[in-house]
Structure 1
Amino acid sequence: MSFAGERAVAGRRLVGGGIALVLAAVGLTGCSPEPPDPTSATEALAAALTSGDFTKAPFAGGAADVTAATAARTSAYEGLAPWQPTVTVVSTEVDEQDEDVATTTLGFTWDVDESDSDWTYETHARLARDDEDVWHVTWAPALLAPDLVAGEVLSVERTRADRANVLGAGGAVIVEPRRVHRVGIDKTKIAAPEQEAAARELGRQLGIDSDSYAAKVLGAGEKAFVEAITIRDGDPGYDLTALVGLPGVIEVPDTLPLAPTRQFARPILGTVGPATAEIIEKSDGAVSPGDLAGLSGLQRQYDAQLRGLPGLTITAAQADGAAPRQLYDVAPTPGTPLTTTLDVRLQEAAESIVATVGPANAIVAIRPSTGEVLAAASGVGGEGMSTATLGQFAPGSTFKVVTALALLRSGLTADSDTTCPTTVSVDGRSFSNFPEYPTDKLGTIPLRTAFANSCNTAFISARDQATQDALIDAAGSLGLDPNASLGFPAFLGDVPADSDGTDHAASMIGQGRVLASPLGMATVAASVAKGSTVVPQIVVPVEGAAAPEADDETSTDDPTETARAAVPLTADEAATLKQLMRGVVTEGGATFLQDVPGDEVAAKTGTAQFGEAGNLQNHVWMIAVQGDLAVAVFVDVGEYGSTTAGPLLEQFLRAAQG
């Protein structure tokens, strides 16, 4: 059917993607298909502006407009990379006087930072319908940004936000801007033929790779300053005056976010420095070349929270910078402080103690009532690794706290008899006690005596009363959760599920494939002190703060078991375990702790052999509780827990008393 006479449409309006028709039909004698509206054309245009692919854009000028639009968009937006806009159709209006003409409003959204606010604006496109009822768009640069004209490009200027401090217990400032000296070769201060020799000499003086640094100097621009090292103000390890006296060497004063000392919880807190190419690439525009960024540790994990949001000024100008127009401006938003539970005084005390020990070592202190980690110090023998929180070592006899819990759950009491022979054989393998085990504590002895004197053979002899599953449950009750997610890189402990025979026997005394970190064993002690399972905490979460970066160092390499239901630790169980640990101080291997000031101390020693037969060495441990303090001390290679780790523990407990 058809209209009688000419098409007579008095008005047509398309709003928000929908059409409202007002028909004033003259001589209407039937119906014909309604001419197409501009919806498909406007949606195609929005999609093209979003993607940059204009091949399907409904341009009136055809291929020529496609080429012009593609080139203009690439040029205009290049300075905003890697950002890209999302473009939607806001509304479309058909001219009330001419149904073949329409105007569409396009909404642009640019996600320019990590806040909930975006840069938004609108542009307008003119459309016309041809004789074949096809809608076409008139191309113009102003489709890309408000009032954009040919040759104009967009650019962004960033203003760095103030990086927030890292705080400790009680709001104490740990990491804050501190003076540093950037030392390097200024190529304008020395003749070109002498630059390589000068770079090598500076490298030699600093103990860095001279070949690499010399190549860096030679490859830099002729007026470049090529930094070799950043030195903390007052660092006694460097003679700044002597360094700047070398040919071509200068120092540039600056500030960097730093802890009180170079060693202060460094493996945990991490470092801050110029953003790497990898960090910049992964940031989706949030970090730019020259920005400071967290390079490791908590500084890296919580970088988004700490760095805040940069100030942004987006302008449109000719390619040569002429006639700039401001399109968007937002002030920088300072970062949000990262609050940790570290107690500055206790951390410094722990750092001073671990600094006296050559092999990898650690001291971890936890407040049992809250789970707050008060100190977590790692010695330099760990070569930069956080031995305190990520170390994975056999815990030796400190694990007997776990084994004792499993035995108590099997029906034993502290006074139940156990058998402590000189040796015990399991499937042909002989287990013995440590060489200086007291002979008067052999034979049939109560569990409390076997625990106090750390009788290996007594615990192994009781292996049938504590299955491997019972050990896993007991470990979980005391906080050794292999799947724990704590908000910071950490490993607590892991007890293998597939152990029997000699492997299960070794598990009973914390050897074989049982693993724990100093943080994990401090958690065990803390759980005993609290009377319920403790979950350690270093980072205090901030509501609404940016989510931390994922970190691959937060769990075991290959947990032996998926998450299983936790078995609660009861107050009575914990009380008995604490009595057993107190016995180690009153009658066992830690009597030297009896005169430590303050509340009475309960402890457990630990020694775990490792290495090849004939060349065995010992991991040595001690854990202790005193009032609302739980401590673990670990040394990678030592004599015994009581003789190597014990004195370090005593120093720390005395320091903790102030």
Structure 2
Amino acid sequence: MLTLRPHRARVAVGAALVLVLAACSGGSDEADEPDPSDPSTTAEAFAAGLPSGEVAGIAFVAPATAAGVAEELDAITAELGDLRPEVEVTTVDEADGDTARASLAVSWSLGPDVEPWIYGVDLHLRRVDDVWAVDWDPSVVEPSLTDGERLEVAHLRPARGEILGAGGVPIVTARPVRRIGIDRATVDPATASTSAVALAQLVGLDDPEGYRGRVDAAGPRAFVEAIVVRTDGSFPLDEAAVAAIPGAVALGDEIPLAPTTAFARPLLGTVGDATAELIEESDGALRPGDTTGLSGLQLAHEEQLRGQPGIEVVARAEGATGRVLVQRERVDGTPLATTLDVPAQTVAEDVLADVGPASAVVAIRPSSGEVLAAASGPGGEGYSTATVGQYAPGSTFKVVTALALLRAGIDLEAELDCPATIDVGGRSFKNYDDYPASRTGAISLRQAIASSCNTALIGSEGVVSQADLAAAAEALGLGRDPVLGVPSFTGSVPDEAEQVEHAASMIGQGRVLASPLAMATVAATIARGEVVTPTLVAGPDGAPDAGEPPAEPITPEEAEALRSLMRAVVTDGSATFLADVPGAEVGAKTGTAEYGEERPPRTHAWMIAVQGDLAVSVFVEDGAGGATTAGPILEEALRGLQPG
């Protein structure tokens, strides 16, 4: 198999292709001694040695010698790197007692899914002192090759496909950059080595000595890249200081980039040098030095985005224009359409910019399931907190518990008991520290959700089973197979649990887990009135297959009841600060979830909200509480996401 390195421009390279070397032996018995008086034996030996240039032991017609032919073969193929053909003897015709002609079939593999280059050549042989010798000529390598010509490979680099947002707006597209590095051709080796360290220190590389090593190991005419920077001023590049370093240059180029370095980076992913693991998994599509998607959408949709490199093989004499012997046109990558809304994603990232812990904002359009924003804050250090984080959802999960209670026959005004603490199976549960004392005692389900009473819902654990809770979660979109187009986590709710764990599940603790994407899906399902399948990358026929519907789908009446509960949280509960958000009415649910082994425990801060055709979730890994930590972020996001 053969791997091509993609290049935008046409460039000659060596060591760029890998090909399986093989030669047919004609099926002779390996135990038989070769017969030097048989022209087939010499033809087979030459066919076996031609790809590698190892022709020692083969007789050649004078003045050619095995050593001279080997040297000439090396010169002819020096620019091909590891690229070598497969050569097979197809026929051997003995014209008379002293001459013969062998027909050779030559096949060059030009890469995966690329038509091979196949041709035939004639190999002429003469009997010299009862030994058949090869009458050497460069045309044995390629029929049109003449003395002094060499073979070169050029690659036609495909343009990488863009990643598009909602409405076809380019997100990842070609943007101008400067490639900073050392040009070995302009300085002597000692100067290049010294300059490498100076340049590495100037641009802030972590390992200046490592860069020096790469420069020292490079060829005498190589450009050894140190860093690629945007031209938008986001990197403080002093080009005068670069130019002052002998051999250092700043070359202009364009590469696929998002609007900013941080824009949706955990979701979009990155492009860079292929790792050893990716090369091994590529089945020959990648090799060292290739550029490929390394994470996120860039990795998940690498084949579509990468395209197919073109290739041409040329014959060139010293100082002459090359003759194209074979060419395969490049195929540019195909754009990847996503549902990300650039303004919405920008708002989501802006509201998280100053949040220290890992955090996320996810926005979904309930009517279509389109993910408008999936922002992961800088505290996650590149981790896609928004889509793959697995956290206890705390009291945001109470909308699931409420659905299970509604299905058990408890209506919105049914009376529940909300004590300050409650004991279940030997474990004591309590309400959050600032829970209003006026909402303890006998309260309705509506009031319990609005004020987020833990003990009222835990006290109802005997009314619904863990299986009932899991079914309600599925009806709201938790735990369904993800179809996002990138790795994602849609939640997990066990359908069996012992009593204490079941009690904890009632308030989104225990083994209940969700991602910010999953909780935004819950909110979107409530807003829409049927289960929502979040969509980031549509399939070739539009929206992805939503899979099997929930075993017990949510009904319009149930959805309306849950919307009224979420509205009560804003009008008469823990999220009254959202009451004056402009636009359609807001419904919400706050959430705080304990985690870890510390005492007192650390807490996640959550909020979910619906407003018109918008569902939003907010998460902060370490916070004081849903309303106090996630609340201001949610409010700012909702105000920023207003239409127009």
- Change over 3 Å in CA distance of 1:417–1:105 after alignment to 2: farther
**Counterparts in 2 of 1:583 and 1:159: CA distance versus 1, 3 Å:** same
| 8 Å CA contact 1:426, 1:505 repeated in 2 | yes
Residue 453 (str. 1) matches residue 426 (str. 2): no
Partner of 2:608: 623
User: Counterpart of 2:168?
Assistant: 171
| Counterparts of 1:567 and 1:121, CA distance in 2 | 61
Deviation of 1:570 after TM superposition, in Å, equals: 1.9
CA contact (8 A) 1:315 1:327 kept: yes
Match in the other structure for 2:47: 69
Match of 1:253 in 2: 252
> Retained in 1: the 8 A contact 2:181–2:227?
yes
Native 8 Å contact 1:202 1:246 kept in 2: no
Q: Could you report, residue by residue, the CA deviation over 1:90-119 in whole angstroms, capped at 9, with x for unpaired residues? A: xx9xxxxxxxxxx999897957344xx634
**SS of residue paired to 2:621:** strand
Aligned twin of 2:641: 656
User: C-alpha displacement at 1:296, in angstroms?
Assistant: 2.0
Match for 2:27: what amino acid?
A
Would you say the 8 A contact 1:585–1:603 is kept in 2? yes
**Which SS does the other structure have where 2:111 is aligned?**
coil
Describe the shift of the 1:193–1:309 C-alpha distance in structure 2 as closer, same or farther (beyond 3 A): closer
Shift of 1:53: 5.7
Amino acid at match of 1:355: A
The alignment's TM-score, normalised by the length of structure 2, stands at 0.77
Unaligned residue ranges in structure 1 (runs of 5+):
1-48, 93-102, 127-137, 545-562
1:181-260 equivalences in 2 (<5 Å): 181-185=178-182, 188=186, 192=190, 195-196=193-194, 199=197, 202-203=200-201, 206=204, 208-220=206-218, 225-241=223-239, 243-244=241-242, 247-248=245-246, 249-260=248-259
**Hey, what does 2:292 align to over in structure 1?**
293
Q: Are the equivalent residues in 1 in contact too, given 2:365–2:372 (CA < 8 A)?
A: yes
Question: Is residue 2:622 matched to residue 1:637?
Answer: yes
Q: Which amino acid aligns with 2:524?
A: A
Please state if 1:57 is matched with 2:27. yes
Give the aligned partner of residue 68 of structure 2: none
Deviation at 1:214, TM superposition (A): 4.4
Q: Is residue 2:414 matched to residue 1:436?
A: no
Q: Distance in 2 between matches of 1:190 and 1:432?
A: 74
SS of structure 2 residue aligned to 1:608:
strand
Task: Report the RMSD for the aligned CA atoms in angstroms.
Answer: 4.1
User: Does the 8 Å CA contact 2:199/2:242 hold for their aligned counterparts?
Assistant: no
Output aligned runs, 1:307-456, within 5 Å.
307-314=306-313, 326-456=324-454
Residue 176 of structure 2 aligns with an amino acid whose one-letter code is R
Q: Which moved more, 1:63-72 or 1:567-576?
A: 63-72
Q: CA deviation at 1:356?
A: 1.6
In structure 2, C-alpha distance between the alignment counterparts of 1:634 and 1:603, rounded to whole Å: 14
Question: Do the aligned partners of 2:23 and 2:87 also contact (CA within 8 Å) in 1?
Answer: no
Distance of 1:227 and 1:494 partners within structure 2: 46
Tell me, in whole angstroms, the C-alpha distance in 2 between the residues paired with 1:66 and 1:628.
74
In structure 2, C-alpha distance between the alignment counterparts of 1:198 and 1:321, rounded to whole Å: 32
Whether the 8 Å CA contact 2:306–2:333 is kept in 1: the answer is yes
Matched, 1:304 2:289: no
Q: How much has 1:564 moved relative to structure 2? A: 10
Deviation for aligned residue 1:485: 3.8
Is the contact made by 2:156 and 2:330 (CA closer than 8 Å) also made in structure 1? yes
1:605/1:243 CA distance change after superposition, 3 Å: farther
Instruction: Judge conservation of contact 1:155–1:316 (CA < 8 Å) in 2.
Output: yes
Contact 1:200 1:214 in 2 (8 A): no
Distance 1:241 1:202 in 2: 14
TM-score under structure 1 length normalisation: 0.76
Read off the aligned partner of 1:304 and give its amino acid letter. E
**Cα 1:615/1:186, change in 2 over 3 Å:** farther
Contact 1:163–1:307 (CA under 8 A) maintained in structure 2 = yes
d(CA) in 1 for partners of 2:574, 2:206: 46
In structure 1, how many angstroms separate the alpha carbons of the residues matched to 2:562 and 2:514? 19
Which amino acid in the other structure matches residue 71 of structure 1?
Answer: G
CA deviation after TM superposition for structure 1 residue 271, in Å:
1.8
Does residue 587 (structure 1) correspond to residue 557 (structure 2)? The answer is no
State the AA in 1 paired with 2:599. Answer: G
1:418 positional shift: 1.7
Where does residue 135 of structure 1 map in the other structure? none
How far, CA to CA, are the matches of 2:474 and 2:608 in structure 1?
17
* Matched AA of 1:69: A
Q: Deviations over 1:400-443 (max 9, x none)?
A: 11111122222222122222111111111100000111111112
CA contact (8 A) 2:48 2:87 kept: no
Change (3 A) 1:112 1:139: farther
Once the two structures are TM-superposed, the CA of residue 525 in structure 1 deviates from its matched residue by: 0.4
Kept in 1: contact 2:390–2:514 (CA 8 A): yes
Worse overlay, 284-293 or 361-370: 284-293
Match of 2:491 among 489, 493, 499: 493
Aligned letter for 1:173?
P
The 3-state SS of whatever aligns with 1:229 is strand
**2-structure distance, mates of 1:478, 1:141:** 76
Partner of 2:518: 520
Structure-1 separation of matches of 2:285 and 2:446: 59
Q: Which amino acid aligns with 1:267?
A: P
| Aligned residues of 1:83 and 1:112 also touching (Cα < 8 A) | no
Moved more, 279-288 or 162-171: 279-288
Counterparts in 2 of 1:351 and 1:294: CA distance versus 1, 3 Å: same
Q: Which amino acid aligns with 2:518?
A: G
Secondary structure in 1 aligned to 2:469?
helix
Q: Aligned in 2, Cα 1:142/1:618: closer, same or farther, shift over 3 Å?
A: same
Alpha-carbon distance change, 201 to 105 in structure 1, aligned in 2, over 3 angstroms: closer
Query: Does the aligned pair in 2 maintain the 1:113–1:309 contact within 8 Å?
Result: no
8 Å CA contact retained: 1:69, 1:141? no
CA distance in 2, matches of 1:162, 1:433: 57
Question: Deviation string for 1:50-90 (max 9, x for gaps)?
Answer: 98363453697565444322223556999596898799x9x
CA contact (8 A) 2:348 2:373 kept: yes
Letter in 2 for 1:340: T
2:573 partner SS: coil
Q: Output the CA distance in 2 between the equivalents of 1:586 and 1:259.
A: 40
